[in-house]
Amino acid sequence: MSLLICYATETGNAEDVGEMLWREARRRGCKSPRMASFEQLSLESLASERTVVFLIATSGQGEFPTSARSLWTCFRQKILPNDYMDKMHFSVVALGDSSYQKYNRAGRLLRARLVQLGAHQLCPPAYCDDQHEIGIDGAFQPWKHVFFEALKGVEGFERILDSKDPELSERPFVSKFRLRFCDGEHIDEPSGSAEYVRVETISNERQTSIDHFQDTRLITFNIGNHEEALRYRSGDVLMIQPENLDESIKIAVEALKLSDETLDRPFKLEPTDSNIRLPPGWLIGTTTSLRYCLKRVLDLQHIPKKSFFEILSRISKDEDEAERLAEFCQPENLDLFLDYTLKTRRTAAEAFRDFYRTASQLSHEQLFDVLPLIRPRAFSIASSPMAHPGVIQLLVAKVEYKPPIAKMADLRRGLCSCHLTRLRHGDMVFVRIRDGTFHFPSPETPIICIGPGTGVAPFRSVINDRLRIHPDSESLLFFGCRGRFSDYYFEIEWTHLEKPRIFVAFSRDQEHKIYVQHLLKKEAALIWRLLQQGAYIFVAGSAGEMPNGVCEMLGEIGKEIGGEENLVKTLETQGRLQFETWS
Ligand SMILES: Cc1cc2nc3c(=O)[nH]c(=O)nc-3n(C[C@H](O)[C@H](O)[C@H](O)COP(=O)(O)O)c2cc1C
């Protein structure tokens, strides 16, 4: 009887959480727990499993992650009998973000389907929310306790250890990887992986006025050598593999007490268990070094989660630090944990500095236990395949702010946006294309694009494309920014185009605030006319209040002009109202 942990991920969180669960299951004495991604499984093999945890992220607009879609299609087959999975005990951990309209939809759908197919739910699902003050852990940690309790009731798992069992703390820590030094070997610096290619930066131009608080850049990459691999459509997304910033690497190297010799000593990694995967593309079969991994592979800038402190406390040989680290993990010390991590936005590198006696004892392989991998970040492509051949452009707002608790002198910096906005001509970046969430109609169908701030990026792409394919295509753009002279992106470009029609809400150029939804109201008659012609509406930008404000206004337009009560719902059902928002 063995536990299967089955994950469906787009950006890696479900896999990370799955790995945490797998380690804990192993430590508590579950016999040979296994991990598998959705794409590794067939419906038939799943149906023969007895105990499964599903970790399911929602991506796109309430969809399953790309790699999970074909198995999900099998799940939905109508011919499956309602006892098809009745031998299975399961629980679902859904990963999502409540700022999206279809919050945790994939996890909810899967749970409902499993029940329909006769599977037995071990405990209620965890609905993890990126918006929770402690992120995924907010729902995952409490779920974990309930889950292991419930698991004890399943035949074959009766003897798994309780979280407070003294035997648990006596069990030695087992690293994910075994490390073999290979002195004298050449250190590989992979120039790409199966998926990622290296592109050169051509330019990096500030788009906001120099006195504006926000530094937004238009970054242009030369894709001339990779036209095939980087073929894209309007609305697609560029995945960027960022690097840790030099200042974070410096803090970590000092805390970890790594000499140049240690940093450059070649080694190879191999998993200690077949369930552990090496980071794809970067370390498989390569000879690497800590200098390389601390730059490209291990995330030094993330805000540590509880698992970071838990693992450090278990491997620390310093009694005092081990005790303080363990305190962060106690549920009753949530305030302490929040004050130390989220309120100050303290990074993992800084935590190493604060717990330097522990950090300086970490072995190479333990760094891979403590630190998560740097995950690629997604940016909507701002260029058009037709209008900007040979390049890809991104519109990137630099994330840099003072932490909520101001006693930290240092500015906090977003890993990827800062990496990108620091790029200079000739710098190389690892990238790949991913399908976007927007599905644009053919240029004959009118579109209404609502994209304040950097939300305008996919619309610059699609509008330019449509004009080249079909010069009479009808496209409306509602853009919003603070002021005409501070952050009106692409102003000159728009004025050179006869079409589309651009409506700009300058929120702070007058006494009262004007936002995109106010302009929608002003143009209600035009919007209604285009909707009658089958227009699609697209909304992109910050997940804050804007999407709700837009929906409310569309609802009003429907009622007041068309006498239609449920315009928003109708459009959404028809796929004619689409969102791509981020927080
Ligand atoms: C492009 C994109 C689209 C997303 N769409 C949704 C969504 O529709 N509903 C939701 O609840 N969460 C959505 N999310 C949030 C993710 O589900 C959440 O960040 C999750 O932790 C990601 O897990 P993963 O790294 O395993 O893919 C989206 C995230 C991204 C990047």
Cα 226 to averaged position of ligand 1 atoms, centre (Å): 28
Task: Flag whether pLDDT at 214 surpasses 80.
Answer: yes
From 97, 99, 381, the mutation candidate for ligand 1 (largest count of ligand atoms within 8 A of CB) is 97
Between CA 242 and CA 250, with CA 244 as vertex, the angle to 5 degrees is 165
Task: Flag whether pLDDT at 295 surpasses 80.
Answer: yes
E strands, 150-252, in order: 177-181, 197-206, 216-222, 237-241
Cα 582 to averaged position of ligand 1 atoms, centre (Å): 9
Give the Cβ contact number of residue 463 at 10 Å: 27
Provide the angle, in degrees to the nearest 10, between the axes of the packed helices 546-562 and 524-532: 80
The neighbouring-strand residues paired with 214 are none
* 447-582: CATH number: 3.40.50.80
How close are the terminal C-alpha atoms of the chain, in Å?
Answer: 42
Work out the average pLDDT over 541-562: 91
* SS3 state of residue 129: strand
Cα 242 to averaged position of ligand 1 atoms, centre (Å): 19
Percent of the chain with pLDDT over 70: 97
The secondary element (H helix, E strand) that includes residue 248 is helix 246-256
Instruction: Take atom 29 of ligand 1 and give the residue whose Cα is closest.
Output: 59
* Rg of the chain over all Cα atoms, to the nearest angstrom: 25
Among the residue ranges 113-122, 335-344, 361-370, the one predicted with the least confidence is 335-344
Question: Are the C-beta atoms of residues 466 and 475 closer than 8 Å to each other?
Answer: yes
Which comes out higher in pLDDT, residue 7 or 512?
7
Nearest-CA neighbor of 52 among 157, 159, 140? Answer: 157
Question: Are the C-beta atoms of residues 16 and 54 closer than 8 Å to each other?
Answer: no
Give me the architecture of the 246-370 domain, per CATH. Up-down Bundle (1.20)
**What CATH superfamily classification does 197-242+376-434 receive?**
Translation factors (2.40.30.10)
- Amino acid found at 410: D
Work out the average pLDDT over 39-53: 96
Question: Which pLDDT does position 11 carry in this prediction?
Answer: 85
Extract the tokens encoding 560.
Answer: 């007041």
Cα 168 to averaged position of ligand 1 atoms, centre (Å): 34
Instruction: Take atom 7 of ligand 1 and give the residue whose Cα is closest.
Output: 62
Listed in order, the ranges of the chain carrying CATH 3.40.50.80 are 447-582
Among the residue ranges 267-271, 394-398, 485-489, the one predicted with the least confidence is 267-271
Extract the tokens encoding 453.
Answer: 């701030």
Cα 14 to averaged position of ligand 1 atoms, centre (Å): 10
Q: Which residues contact 315 (CB under 8 A, 6 or more apart)?
A: 173, 358, 361, 362, 366, 369
Predicted confidence band at 281 (pLDDT cuts at 50, 70, 90)?
low
E strands, 451-526, in order: 475-481, 501-506
445: left (phi over 0), alpha (psi -120 to 50) or beta: beta
Listed in order, the ranges of the chain carrying CATH 3.40.50.360 are 3-170
Q: Which of 110-119, 154-163, 182-191 has the highest mean pLDDT?
A: 110-119
Task: Flag whether pLDDT at 496 surpasses 90.
Answer: no
Predicted confidence band at 277 (pLDDT cuts at 50, 70, 90)?
confident
Task: Flag whether pLDDT at 406 surpasses 60.
Answer: no
Cα 63 to averaged position of ligand 1 atoms, centre (Å): 9
Extract the tokens encoding 87.
Answer: 């031998």
**Ligand 1 atom at shortest distance from the alpha carbon of 9:** 26
* CA distances from residue 271 to 9, 39, 178 in whole angstroms, order as listed: 21, 21, 6
**Ligand 1 atom at shortest distance from the alpha carbon of 65:** 27
Predicted confidence band at 375 (pLDDT cuts at 50, 70, 90)?
confident
**Ligand 1 atom at shortest distance from the alpha carbon of 128:** 21
Q: Which residues contact 99 (CB under 8 A, 6 or more apart)?
A: 130, 131, 543, 544, 581, 583
- Amino acid found at 114: L
**Ligand 1 atom at shortest distance from the alpha carbon of 11:** 25
Nearest-CA neighbor of 419 among 240, 218, 210, 576? Answer: 240
Cα 344 to averaged position of ligand 1 atoms, centre (Å): 25
Predicted confidence band at 542 (pLDDT cuts at 50, 70, 90)?
confident
Indicate the average pLDDT of the chain. Answer: 92
Question: Are the C-beta atoms of residues 471 and 443 closer than 8 Å to each other?
Answer: no
Cα 17 to averaged position of ligand 1 atoms, centre (Å): 14
CATH fold of 3-170 reads Rossmann fold (3.40.50)
Listed in order, the ranges of the chain carrying CATH 1.20.990.10 are 246-370
From 5, 6, 10, the mutation candidate for ligand 1 (largest count of ligand atoms within 8 A of CB) is 10
Question: Which pLDDT does position 455 carry in this prediction?
Answer: 97
Predicted confidence band at 194 (pLDDT cuts at 50, 70, 90)?
low
Predicted confidence band at 497 (pLDDT cuts at 50, 70, 90)?
confident
Instruction: Enumerate residues lining ligand 1, CB below 6 A.
Output: 9-14, 57-62, 65, 95-97, 100, 102-105, 130, 378, 437
